[in-house]
Amino acid sequence: MEAYLDYIPDISWWKVTLLGATGVSIYMIKSRVAGRMCPSKALMVGKTVIITGANSGIGKATALELAKRQARVILACRDEELANAAVRDIRKKTASGQLVVKRLDLASLASVKKFVEDVSNDEDRVDVLINNAGVLQCPFSKTEEGFEMQMGVNHLGHFYLTNLLLPKLKQSTPSRVIVVSSGLHKLGKIEFDNLNSEKSYDPRAGYANSKLANNMFARELSSRLEGTGVSVYCLHPGMVFTNLGRHVMPSFLIKLLLYPLAWLLVKSPYAGCQTVLYCAVAEELEGVTGRYYGSCEEEEWTQVSLDDVVSKKLWNVSEELTGLKS
């Protein structure tokens, strides 16, 4: 019995050590997964930022961080109730900054036009436009104008929005346009004879193609805006734990099993928004344009993004499809 009692403290020490080592390992894995945090402490006093899809995930986390930096943040969302709920959540965390909800459905060019009219009437300036909203691998569906949903929302809606907002952005220089793309753009291809999946639809290819379109749009926009004082930044946020996977989520049981693993190995929205934040606020990026970022650092553009012939053709086709050039 005595020998047994002697043994107990040994087990406890062993347990404490194991627990400590597990805690440290989890912390190290999570910090590594999170990547670099935005190194800039710049405030955004007097600056107005528009974030599309700001009621959820990366957009909502960005709205919170920019509010903390005292920006006026316009949450451009398709569902005003969800946007107001996001504002209430953000207000629980900070009383700083101004939060304004405006309706924007990127699957409707009429809604985009109405949004830009509202912004033009109500806002003196727009310092930063963050093209963040996105849809991933949804079943085949069409926007109001008949574009395939992923190409329509992720690329064409933002293409139209940015072009209509350019006068305001040019009035507010130095100003910034930030395009939230994805590493999956590497698998993309711009197929002009199937841009809206008229011939065939593969949800994975549809997402990758729309994200390649984001990269090409950002490069082409930056060259068209050279010398205007409007800078363009494109980025990939890494893998982030958000609602983006809603159309590809497995069954409830598998989700339950995957959640702890995802919690450990996928970035939180706070970590996922850091590169967006960096591109929005970093003073050292003032005047820099047409570059690609990941983990708060500049990265090389991928080869597939550098095809200027396709980028220019995509611009022209996008102008025709959205009616910007009739």
175: which strand partners?
Answer: 230
- Comparing CA positions, the residue from 56, 199, 189, 76 lying closest to residue 128 is 76
Using rule CB under 6 A, residue 265 touches ligand NAP: no
Q: Among this protein's residues, is 201 annotated catalytic?
A: no
Shortest separation between residue 326's beta carbon and ligand NAP, angstroms: 24
As a whole number of angstroms, the distance between CA 125 and CA 286 comes to 17
Q: Which stretch binds ligand NAP (CB under 6 A): 6-14, 51-59, 247-255, 310-318?
A: 51-59
Q: Which stretch binds ligand NAP (CB under 6 A): 10-18, 88-96, 103-111, 114-122?
A: 103-111
Using rule CB under 6 A, residue 135 touches ligand NAP: yes
Q: Rule CB under 6 A: which of 144-163 touch ligand NAP?
A: 153
- In the numeric block, the tokens 């949004």 are attached to 115
Using rule CB under 6 A, residue 56 touches ligand NAP: yes
Using rule CB under 6 A, residue 179 touches ligand NAP: no
Q: Which stretch binds ligand NAP (CB under 6 A): 13-21, 220-228, 239-247, 249-257?
A: 239-247
CB 261 within 8 A of CB 283: no
* Active-site annotation holder among 7, 27, 207, 270: 207
CB 175 within 8 A of CB 127: yes
Q: Which is nearer to ligand NAP, 33 or 317 (CB)?
A: 33
Using rule CB under 6 A, residue 82 touches ligand NAP: yes
Shortest separation between residue 37's beta carbon and ligand NAP, angstroms: 17
Cα–Cα separations (whole angstroms), residue 144 to 24, 76, 137, 210: 51, 18, 18, 17
Using rule CB under 6 A, residue 59 touches ligand NAP: yes
Q: Which of 42, 240, 265, 288 binds ligand NAP (CB under 6 A)?
A: 240
Q: Describe the strand order of the beta sheet including 175-180 as a list of residue ranges.
A: 98-103, 72-77, 48-52, 128-131, 175-180, 230-236, 291-294, 297-299
Question: Which residue's Cβ has the minimum distance to ligand NAP?
Answer: 57
As a whole number of angstroms, the distance between CA 129 and CA 169 comes to 8
Using rule CB under 6 A, residue 33 touches ligand NAP: no
Q: Which stretch binds ligand NAP (CB under 6 A): 54-62, 66-74, 159-167, 219-227?
A: 54-62
Using rule CB under 6 A, residue 62 touches ligand NAP: no
Q: Which of 195, 237, 275, 277 binds ligand NAP (CB under 6 A)?
A: 237
Residues found near ligand NAP in the complex (CB under 6 A): 52-53, 55-59, 77-79, 82, 104-107, 132-135, 153, 180, 182, 236-237, 239-240, 242-244
Residues with active-site annotation = 207
